């Protein structure tokens, strides 16, 4: 249905800990996310399992972090492991108020010590006959690593996302040099919502004094209604990143 509003948020939650790792603040993150009430939430650094923390923190949830955050609000979710270690694993997650038609986690790791993946889902919006493709990313820290991951992302879009189906790509790109544009904009016609609206990327890291543009929301086949980076309270005292929010309209 043309004109339908889609609100999205992307957030690196730092595994549910404060920037200093001294406080477990997943419950605060949950409350803050519910206040924003986005339709689709892209999360990075989400624990799928972490055995050691359950005995160290009284308020550690009994279910997986993405399930804990999604509870009773986002009834549909997908999770893809990025990093696996003896005590558990963490990765990307997508929480959605609308059902997934399908989803897949694509391994783009180059380094065993820093596993990475692309979580690609297709979501059906009730009352429409068109799918929205959503891809949650958390790219590597090294330039060559990111370039290969961006190349894989571009190939994935060309092979799995029809040009007439809307697309949202969001997450922590670690792309302070702005190289993602080369792979996504010039070749695929994908635009970054903040740069397209305000002329520059949103600064999202570190949360207490953001100077680096690490987090992005790219889109294609949608109209922008508004966008903002949530740099005030309570966000600046939660994770080491601040979240980005955008509202789109189906066209």
pLDDT at 142 over 90: no
Residues 28-51 have a mean pLDDT of 91
Which residue has 């986005």 as its token pair?
38
Residue 106 is predicted with a pLDDT of 92
Tell the burial category of 148 from Cβ atoms under 10 Å away from its Cβ (0-12, 13-18, 19+). middle
Residues 97-121 as b/e (b if ≥16 CB within 10 A, e otherwise) read bbebeebebbebeeeeeebbbbbbb
Q: Does the N-terminal peptide bond of residue 247 adopt cis geometry, omega within 30 degrees of 0?
A: no
Residue 84 is predicted with a pLDDT of 66
Of residues 94, 103, 9, the one with CA closest to residue 46: 94
**Angstrom distance (rounded) from CA 79 to CA 48:** 8
pLDDT at 85 over 90: no
Instruction: Assign domain 5-250 to its CATH superfamily.
Output: Endonuclease/exonuclease/phosphatase (3.60.10.10)
Q: What is the pLDDT of residues 208-246, one digit of tens each?
A: 999 999 999 999 999 999 999 998 889 988 999 999 999
Residue 3 is predicted with a pLDDT of 75
Q: What percent of the chain has pLDDT over 70?
A: 93
**Angstrom distance (rounded) from CA 216 to CA 30:** 21
Residue 26 pairs in a beta bridge with none
Work out whether the CA dihedral 49, 52, 53, 59 comes out positive or negative. positive
Residue 192 is predicted with a pLDDT of 97
For residue 53, name the pLDDT band (cuts at 50, 70, 90).
Answer: low
pTM, to two decimals: 0.93
Residue 205 is given by DSSP the state B
């Amino acid at each position: 249905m043309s004109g339908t509003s889609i609100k999205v948020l992307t957030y690196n939650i730092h595994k549910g800990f404060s920037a200093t790792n001294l406080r477990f603040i997943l419950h605060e993150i949950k409350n803050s996310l519910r206040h924003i009430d986005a339709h689709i939430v892209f999360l990075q650094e989400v624990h799928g399992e972490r055995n050691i923390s359950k005995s160290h923190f009284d308020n550690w949830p009994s279910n997986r972090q993405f399930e804990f955050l999604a509870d009773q609000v986002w009834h549909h979710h997908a999770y893809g492991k990025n990093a696996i270690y003896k005590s558990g694993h963490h990765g990307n997650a997508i929480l959605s108020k609308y059902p997934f038609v399908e989803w897949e986690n694509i391994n783009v790791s180059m380094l065993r010590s820093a596993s990475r993946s692309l979580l690609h889902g297709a979501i059906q919006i009730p009352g429409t006959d068109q799918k929205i493709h959503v891809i949650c990313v958390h790219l590597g820290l090294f330039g060559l690593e990111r370039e290969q991951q961006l190349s894989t992302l571009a190939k994935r879009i060309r092979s799995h996302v029809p040009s007439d189906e809307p697309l949202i790509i969001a997450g922590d790109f670690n792309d302070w040099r702005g190289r993602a544009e080369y792979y996504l904009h010039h070749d695929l016609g994908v635009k970054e919502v903040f740069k397209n609206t305000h002329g520059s990327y949103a600064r999202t890291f570190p949360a207490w004094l953001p100077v680096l543009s690490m987090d992005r929301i790219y889109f294609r086949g949608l109209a922008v209604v508004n966008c903002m980076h949530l740099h005030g309270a309570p966000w600046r005292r939660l994770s080491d990143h601040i979240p980005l929010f955008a509202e789109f309209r189906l066209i």
